[in-house]
Structure 1
Amino acid sequence: MSKWVLATLTAALILTGCGNGAGNNRPPAETPGNNVQAQQNEPGKKLIEDPKAVELHLEELAASVDGVEAAHCVVIGNTAIVGLDVGGEVERSRVGTIKYAVAEAFRNDPYGIDAFVTADLDMSNRLAEIREDIVKGRPVAGFAEELADMIGRLVPQLPRYLSPVQPDPDAIDRVLQPIEGKSRGK
């Protein structure tokens, strides 16, 4: 009898596994109450129509925060990037607090709410240089140069892929000859 039970169970498992035919892969039929639409509660980014005015506004707002010595802002399209100059002697934890305070000040500003705030000294200096290039009438070239400099710093140098430089024996002799000549003359 156990053979019959085992055979019946095996057949049932095989048949249920084969029941997933081509007709079963259809999506469910659309019903009238099945459409769900998401509604956005918060407004999107405010359109920046006058980038220079927004840059000045955000720089002044950031500089008004205690601990910020200067601020540099660049608007690219509809995005503002603000670099903070907090001084070199400020501790890392204090820098984070200052950056957070600037972000809080920006939170209630229609242009500042979507701005990127950085307190990296190198980034702040580069933003100032990009801003100078924009004022000089070279926005694209200035931005491209600074972007290339930033990427050059970010890309790691892998020692494994450096090809060793073979010393030139003649070059060593050319360097050592003047030195040896001076020591012989003494």
Structure 2
Amino acid sequence: MVRKLSITAILFLLIATGCAQNGSKNDVINDVQNNNFITVNQRNDNSNNPLTGEQAAMHLVDLANRIPDVKDATAVVAGNYAVVGIDVDKNLDRSRVGVVKYSVAEALKDDPYGANAVVVADPDIVERLREMRRDIQDGRPIAGVMNELSAIVGRLMPQIPYDINTDESPNEQNEKQLPKGEKQQLNNIQKEQSKQQ
């Protein structure tokens, strides 16, 4: 009895499954006959064709020039890093120049070529970047340009965030610099202060 019931249930499931598939086949046939096609928009994001340094620099210049108050821009790209120089009106006050620089940095941060860019607005550095760009276009060896670029960035950003050692607390770093007698004295003072709280 149980066996007959099991066989009947299995046959019922097979028939029900077969009918369900048949209905979906008819739906596909009806869609094709009624021309219900799905249009797919494809775009080429050039992820397989990375830009050259010169093309990336032009791309960053274009992005920077779209920001209000940027009169002109220049960029030098070296590998994954870039320095973008912007010209602003000389009559803008410093706080407004800072806002413009921040706006340019915001425009570049989501761009794969501008994510690691340094934005500068100092007229002397911007002019030097233009000269470096001309040197690159004239075929000057990239090693000299890289040295000069690293010197500029080193003056602008003396401490790079990812170089900071966060393994030790500032107190531990300072205590290592103290002579032993002063270190013990500091520990005693800290213990006394913690008892008072």
**TM-score (structure 1 length as normaliser):** 0.50
